[in-house]
Structure 1
């Protein structure tokens, strides 16, 4: 006897398969119509308009809607007002367009719904993930004694690196098992070093690990935003002299704003000298390993004790997809746990792999399939050439900025991120500080106007206290012609807003209130749906 719910799930019956085809085909039609065919990187809809629409429909109605009508409504109210990550002008963040083959893989991942914690929930998936992590360890220069595991991304991978570093240090220093006994009494003296430009998740991880943000000591960077090894050496000597206990050094291979890569070999030497765990955050820059041209920039990465790499950046995978690589697999024992119902110890005696023993997640998606199918479809050479193309686009964009007196390049691009400022006309009698504050507000308005008009999605950041604009050129569809056009839009909006900017300022320095008058045609055109 069949269940009345059979048709709701994909299985062997014709009814269930027809239900699935109907849902997937309708979703595909909506995705192509309301996302892939969108005229720009964003619709321009303002948050208030979207909220009003969402409030009109109860989250859980008493009776459900037909699937065609439901997907149609989602297309017009949600999909149509999403960031179009495949558009050449969607260049704000480390947010990539996913490869079509990876979207097909995503359907297989979600359709089969494997859980990667135990063998009997994933079978072939477990073996394929292990095969892929072994390959990853190899291309990053690790020996056969290494290992890895897929993660949700850089945040989780960085957390795992510092988690193992912390536990390893406590075991080596005091014979203390943190997994069983908690933090040792000396934990308040432990220190982590990273650059001023390192990702915020270093401090976040320190806090989550019970060490506190005060554990993280930042090291000055050079003119290219790379950690200064000489400054790191001085800080390490000072910390040691004070009786503090540095135990981990985080090197960044691809900073968020500039794509800068720390001097990996020099930092590895410091780590050896002071007995530190070297964790390399290569979430952004790790993809350079596939490039014939730029892989050389990652020399020294193989010396790290652990590595973070993201695939939902320059490997062009749907979110989420990352990995944590470990130079010596035995250190996964610091987080190993066994549950009788999930991964009993006797499984290991029989050679049955349960990947939960090397992850901080239990239930985990089969995201490795997406990367595998993409690598199989494109091959290393095509991946490398795509990455090279984006770097060359960034270089060309930097040349445009450098040659334009209305724009200022904030450092040469190290990879494919370009940081710059618009240079507004001077206002007579204005101090340097007043001019800087006015320009900061202007950059904020330029970015908002580009988004409201649906012309471009660009990022805003701060460098040395000043607001800047940033192009993050991960998208291989984005060409130098596209970025040149967006720069023209930046100048158009900047000039329009700058000409109408208020000249008066508040009397008290430091409490100025600068107002940009947008009444003369420059008012933000935030679109309502």
Structure 2
């Protein structure tokens, strides 16, 4: 174990860039040469191989140059929790497998449902991530609707009702793709998800939602759930929860709030009010491995009415028999889509007990402030070469390099693809890409409270340098030649805090 710790320590100390810049075709031959049926001589040889194949190319989310996806640096107490739970291999299925671990998870569920304001009847369970949480919430919503349709206890025993093809889910046009995946897994299909137009701030338009619901009624469709998003992946936008909740309540429709990204606002002293209305949801998804700064995986699905969790319950005599439930034994498998589950709750528990909720909320406040500062910095360059698409809502920024004098969309896209690839290839930065209204953009996702404005300024400067160099080359070669940039040891610099893991 000490050798493993030393190995990771050396890798973190030696790292100079957020990524190595390696490409799949360069690393694949290393794996092709390995015969998994022939073990290595000893543990040291195994660790050396792990260093070469994995650690040398690991992406460092704690590096200021990593600003791509919703990956966060993690708290030190959460690492300690992993070191405690993994050797014991605790599985939080039934009381006789987990005992105190069961109560730790339940205490955290009660704590977060109280923070949301779901009421005394609320409950929930830890999940693998927002995708599973959204699936579970929509499964419960679907089954609750099927109970009303069939009148004989729903579809758990008898299958979907004959008119299940009329069931519909409504979500904003920029909601997470897991909503469509859930619809397919639930036997409804992608087309059962009706996109609702957004306003100019990329938030669900309540008037448009009302119109879509009216259309469903007129077309003989059965909308059974509305998914509101508290923190969209691209824009960080938060749907107008109070207005959506009022509309859902008036029509008897299940409201699910996907707060996988924005859930950390529950701990914020400055921005908690952005989640006003979430307390009216029937279910909520939260990813602790995003804005609570926990290791993957650490998430939860919460419900207003604990009885709805019965839609995922199945009693097996060899694991969680009826008589245990009747006796009040708190077997967590009774409310989970998974059977075997890791003790992920310990990470959040130890973090809260040693750092406190205010510290986590402060980290999120810091990255929101940094995002706004970075946006102002970029807008100062808008006349020259940076086009910022929207004002940030949470901690994402969508923009593109767009030098004066170039208006052809294909050319602009080519330049920005080149910038993104070059940054990664050189190991200077990991930046995301996305499309908005058919146009390609670059995206910063800021989740590192130790990143500073000077780090972002340095990265923006590198973006402009690569964009300008490539544009010059395209001009010289009539846009037909793309340069290949060699790897470099340039890096953005790294800062660390005592409470955020290096």
Q: Which residue of 1 aligns with 2:120?
A: 144
**SS of the residue 1:185 aligns to:** coil
Structure 1 Cα separation of the partners of residues 143 and 347 of structure 2: 32
Match in the other structure for 2:486:
525
Match of 1:467 among 440, 445, 456: 440
Match of 1:304 among 253, 257, 281: 281
2:395 to 412, 416, 423: 416
| 8 Å CA contact 2:149, 2:161 repeated in 1 | no
Q: Secondary structure at the match of 1:387?
A: helix
Structure 2 match to 1:104:
80
Q: What is the alpha-carbon distance in structure 2 between the residues aligned to residue 333 and residue 312 of structure 1?
A: 26
Shifted more, 199-208 versus 74-83: the winner is: 74-83
Q: Does 1:189 align with 2:166?
A: yes
Q: Distance in 1 between matches of 2:297 and 2:36?
A: 25
> How far, CA to CA, are the matches of 1:168 and 1:195 in structure 2?
22
CA distance in structure 2 between the aligned counterparts of 1:272 and 1:387, rounded to whole angstroms: 31
- 1:422-437 alignment runs, 5 A limit: 422-426=401-405, 432=407, 435-437=408-410
TM-score by length of 2: 0.94
Residues 295-343 of structure 1 show CA distances to partners (whole Å, capped at 9, x for unaligned) of 0000000100000000110111111110000100011112211000000
Q: Report the CA distance between 1:98 and its aligned residue.
A: 1.4
Cα 1:162–1:36, aligned 2, differ >3 Å: closer, same or farther? farther
Distance 1:36 1:321, change over 3 A: farther
* Contact in 1 for aligned 2:419/2:467 (Cα 8 Å): yes
In structure 1, runs of 5+ residues without a counterpart are: 1-23, 506-513
Following superposition, the deviation at residue 220 of structure 1 comes to 0.5
Tell me: CA distance 1:503–1:158, structure 2 relative to 1, closer, same or farther (3 Å): farther
Within-5 A mapping of 1:315-394: 315-394=292-371
| Paired residues for 1:210-225 under 5 Å | 210-225=187-202
Match among 370, 375, 380 for residue 403 of structure 1: 380
Q: Report the secondary structure of 1:478's partner residue.
A: coil
User: Please, what TM-score do these two structures have when normalized by structure 1?
Assistant: 0.90
> Secondary structure of 2:397's match?
strand
Distance in 2 between residues matched to 1:313 and 1:196, nearest whole Å: 22
Deviation string 1:330-361 (CA, Å, 9 cap, x unpaired) is 11112211000000111123221111110100
Structure 2: gaps spanning 5 or more residues: 490-502
What CA distance in whole angstroms lies between the structure 2 residues aligned with 1:227 and 1:366?
A: 36
Query: Aligned residue for 2:96?
Result: 120
- Is this contact kept in 1: 2:293–2:360, CA < 8 A? no
Deviation, structure 1 residue 526: 5.4
Pick from 131, 135, 142: which aligns with 1:155?
Answer: 131
On the 8 A contact 2:70/2:445 being kept in 1, the answer is yes
Q: Distance in 2 between matches of 1:504 and 1:183?
A: 61
Closer/same/farther in 2, CA of residues 516 and 294 from structure 1, 3 Å limit: farther
1:206 alignment partner, one of 157, 166, 183: 183
Q: For residues 418 and 51 of structure 1, what CA distance do their matches in structure 2 show? A: 33
Work out the CA distance in 1 between the residues paired with 2:150 and 2:391. Answer: 46
Cross-structure match for 2:26: 49
User: Aligned partners of 2:33 and 2:324: how far apart in 1?
Assistant: 52
The more displaced of 301-310 and 119-128 is 119-128
**Corresponding position of 2:265:** 288
Partner SS, residue 67 of structure 2: coil
Please give the secondary structure, in 1, of the residue aligned with 2:83.
helix
Quick check: 1:94–1:313 contact (8 Å CA) kept in 2?
A: yes
Asked if the contact 1:448/1:524 (under 8 Å) is kept, the reply is: no
- Displacement of 1:400 in angstroms is 0.8
CA contact (8 A) 2:118 2:281 kept: no
Counterparts in 2 of 1:59-74, with a 5 A limit?
59-61=36-38, 63-74=39-50
2:493 paired residue number = none
Which residue number corresponds to residue 456 of structure 1?
A: 429
Q: How many residues align?
A: 486
How many Å separate the matches in 1 of 2:401 and 2:17?
Answer: 23
Q: What residue number does 1:89 align with?
A: 65
Query: Structure 1 residue 142: deviation in Å?
Result: 1.4
Answer with 1 or 2: which has the greater Rg. 1
1:37-93 CA-to-partner distances (Å, cap 9, x unmatched) read: 3001001122222112222222231x4431122112211321110111111111100
Separation in 1, partners of 2:481, 2:399 = 21
Q: Distance in 2 between matches of 1:54 and 1:36?
A: 26
Query: In the alignment, is the contact (CA less than 8 A) between 1:165 and 1:247 conserved in 2?
Result: yes
Moved over 4 A (4+): 502-505
Counterpart residue number, 2:450: 477
| Separation of aligned partners in 1, 2:244 and 2:108 | 28
How many Å separate the matches in 2 of 1:148 and 1:212?
26
